[in-house]
Structure 1
Amino acid sequence: MLNALKTTLLHWKRQVVINRERWTIKKQSEFFEVLADLLDAGFSLKQALTTTTRLFSTGKLDIQKIEAELSHGEAFSTGIKPYISKSSYYQIMISEKYGGLNKSINQLGKLMAVRVKQKKQLKQLLQYPIILMGLLIVLYIGIQQFILPEINYSQLGTTSNSGIKVIIVKSIIGLFSSLLIGYGIKIIIRVSRQTTMNRHVWYCQIPVVGKIYKDYCHYYLTFNLGLLLSSGLNLNKICDYLNQFDQESLLYQLGRQLTQHFEKGGNTKQMIDKNPLFPKELTIFLEKGNTLEVMSQELLIFSELTYRKFESSVEKMMVYVQPIAFIIVAACIVGLYLAILLPMYQTMEEIK
């Protein structure tokens, strides 16, 4: 258990070091949106990057490094890799190699803009509940330090039953809290030791947010699959291509699983049905018998619709954030009242 916890902490430490170089979501959003607009206006990628360096005061050196990589014959995806997430990197790499780079950058810009908007909205929704929670914590500390000691002192000359009850209640709460924390640590360790694909599958199974995360996975996979099919690659060649990716990436692990499944004589439908990361509709697209070009167009349209569904689901979830936060605050207020009134009530009963 201790070794597993140490391994998890080391993994997180490495992730923190990697993330220090990565751009913020807001910065990525601004960069991709501006770059997409310039590419749509007819600029070449190099011209668009040069113009972008003039428009951005922060991150100028990073963009110049990407320009330098391009000048030395490196791919755009290679240059931008340190500054974006692994999933975004592979999306750009696929589109750069097989076509649709403008569309891919445009999609990333929209996705990042939505995330920035959601983050801002979440901050606004939670601002008042967090202030209330802070006041409650101060009030709780005040009660623990000043009011409860006075009540306990007044109970010294009375029966010790109430004191015993308080000790029992505190012991139960302490035990429950310890079990909850221990279970939480166990889940974190277990999830961190899973493969990337199993981790994503687990995310999809989390109540409430799991469905939203699943919509995002469906968008991400169908968009990339659509780009690969548009280049003329069939499923077997796509699997071979994905097997060249980083072994920790989701696309590599999905490609590896598909390859092993086909080698055992399995069909596509079985694979899609048992893996929640694939949308069930994918079976229909793959079994219609259309050409790769038509299939890719259908998948790209489907990915756009899935993305809109993802956006809509997030907006609906945001509506419930503040009410849930207020319910938690209300429960804490009730708990504080009970913490004050119950000992006082017990004292009054004993005095009688």
Structure 2
Amino acid sequence: MLSAIGKIKNMHQRRKNPPLAFKHQITFLSRTCKLLDKGYPLVKSLQMISWDVQFKKVTMEIIYELNRGNPIDIAFKKANFSRQVTSFLYFARIHQDLPALFRQCRELLQLQHTYKQKFKEAMRYPIILLIFLIGSFNVIKHTILPSFSILFESGNSSPWSLLILKGSDIALTVLGIVFMFIVLIAGGFILTNYKRPTSQKLKIYIRTPFLRSYKMFTLTFLFATHLSSLLTAGLPLKDSLKVISDQTKYPELAFYSSHIQNQLKDGQSLSASIHQCALFREELTSIFHQTNDLPTLASELQMLSELLMDQLKEKLMKAVQLIQPIFFIIVACLVILIYASIMLPLYQWMDQI
């Protein structure tokens, strides 16, 4: 009876645990990976990690779920790990190379965390400056503009210099409305997208340029990574595709895997079946077209996933490096605009005296 009450209390406490921070997830995965590489069993590794007080509750949660017979991905989900981690660990049910899976999870989280921090750092100062300038522009609009309008009201027409401020006000208002409209559309799409069938989602992704590029990269990376790990674990190709199609973590990936299986049953070649998946990159089709034996296929798929990871790092670095120059150009234009809107009407009024 007491043990049952203790379990209920433990379950109640687990529900109150806050989501695990990204940096803590990265540290946890890194330590787990090191211990697994040294040959320690998973539970023993978790017990050793629990020596650190900040991870004690997390490790006890995972060990508790594992002792109940839950798979490793469910155990980590109960411990409030991110979807990226639990989705990768789903394949640990078949693929027994836990150090490799933990390493991939850690690299993905580290990449996401690093560039998220760099993005925040790159955006912090420009956004503060931009907010300050927009506030200054609004002050000018409500103080200086009415004064200039009164000053020139005796004339037959407003000076062209005064029109700069009015035109700028209209332009900023229109840009604000467009921005809010885009935010509302994006928010509505995110809130309703999960209700759509997977086939409809894929059609939307294909027709939307930005989403198309993003989904082509992520789906190709995930397919290459997980299929490579399953083939490395010794599963035949058809069984590996079946595992991917049965999982629910990535519905689009499961849909494409089912499509490939159906095409193979109809007599299509593997490369032709993959080529019909519009959100798979051409490199993936090329690998299946040129490679037949499974060990080589697993190796080349792993190489493709590593190349895609390197490409992602380069693109993120370029994006971060472009953020500040673009924002500083915008800020510089606003500064010039504010200066011109104040000084030009003043100079024109002085000429009329």
1:335 aligns with 2:333: no
In structure 2, distance between residues paired with 1:232 and 1:328: 55
Q: 1:74 aligns with which of 63, 70, 74?
A: 70
**1:46 Cα deviation (Å)?**
0.7
Aligned to 1:52: 49
* Contact 1:272–1:279 (CA under 8 A) maintained in structure 2: no
1:111 aligns with 2:115: no
**Which ranges of 4 or more aligned residues in structure 1 deviate by more than 6 Å?**
166-169
Task: Supply the AA of the counterpart residue of 2:326.
Answer: I
* Contact 1:222–1:303 (CA under 8 A) maintained in structure 2: yes
Q: 2:304 aligns with which of 288, 293, 302?
A: 302
For residues 221-263 of structure 1, the C-alpha deviation after alignment (integer angstroms, 9 at most, x for no partner) is 2110101222343443334323332286333233233345446
Aligned to 1:11: none
Task: Supply the AA of the counterpart residue of 1:324.
Answer: I
TM-score scaled by length of structure 2: 0.77
For residues 60-101 of structure 1, the C-alpha deviation after alignment (integer angstroms, 9 at most, x for no partner) is 423321110012222211111252343432221113422222
Shift in alpha-carbon separation, 1:244–1:309, aligned structure 2, 3 A: same
Shift in alpha-carbon separation, 1:258–1:203, aligned structure 2, 3 A: same
RMSD, matched Cα: 3.6
For residues 199-242 of structure 1, the C-alpha deviation after alignment (integer angstroms, 9 at most, x for no partner) is 994699329xx767754543322110101222343443334323
Aligned to 1:205: 209
Unpaired stretches in structure 2, ≥5 consecutive residues: 1-14
Task: Supply the AA of the counterpart residue of 1:329.
Answer: V
SS at match of 2:282: coil
Task: Supply the AA of the counterpart residue of 2:134.
Answer: I
Structure with more relative contact order (C-alpha pairs < 8 Å, separation 6 or more): 1
Shift in alpha-carbon separation, 1:182–1:48, aligned structure 2, 3 A: same
Aligned-residue sequence identity (percent) comes to 22
Shift in alpha-carbon separation, 1:252–1:343, aligned structure 2, 3 A: farther
Pairing of 1:186-205 with structure 2 (within 5 A): 186-190=185-189, 192-193=192-193, 198=202, 201=205, 205=209
* Contact 1:195–1:248 (CA under 8 A) maintained in structure 2: no
For residues 35-71 of structure 1, the C-alpha deviation after alignment (integer angstroms, 9 at most, x for no partner) is 11111122211111122222251x5423321110012
Task: Supply the AA of the counterpart residue of 2:256.
Answer: L
Task: Supply the AA of the counterpart residue of 1:142.
Answer: V
Shift in alpha-carbon separation, 1:348–1:159, aligned structure 2, 3 A: farther
For residues 134-159 of structure 1, the C-alpha deviation after alignment (integer angstroms, 9 at most, x for no partner) is 33133223323332232223233333
Shift in alpha-carbon separation, 1:97–1:148, aligned structure 2, 3 A: same
* Contact 1:229–1:296 (CA under 8 A) maintained in structure 2: yes
In structure 1, distance between residues paired with 2:155 and 2:295: 86
**1:338 Cα deviation (Å)?**
3.8
Shift in alpha-carbon separation, 1:230–1:25, aligned structure 2, 3 A: same
In structure 2, distance between residues paired with 1:56 and 1:308: 35
Shift in alpha-carbon separation, 1:30–1:222, aligned structure 2, 3 A: same
1:150 aligns with 2:154: no
* Contact 1:212–1:313 (CA under 8 A) maintained in structure 2: no
SS at match of 1:99: coil
TM-score scaled by length of structure 1: 0.77
In structure 1, distance between residues paired with 2:208 and 2:271: 20
**1:329 Cα deviation (Å)?**
1.5
**1:301 Cα deviation (Å)?**
2.9
SS at match of 1:31: helix
For residues 262-284 of structure 1, the C-alpha deviation after alignment (integer angstroms, 9 at most, x for no partner) is 46655433443354542322234
In structure 2, distance between residues paired with 1:224 and 1:272: 15
Decide which moves more: 328-337 or 244-253.
Answer: 244-253
Q: 1:256 aligns with which of 231, 255, 258?
A: 258
Shift in alpha-carbon separation, 1:315–1:289, aligned structure 2, 3 A: closer
In structure 1, distance between residues paired with 2:327 and 2:18: 33
Unpaired stretches in structure 1, ≥5 consecutive residues: 1-17
Pairing of 1:123-162 with structure 2 (within 5 A): 123-159=120-156, 161=158
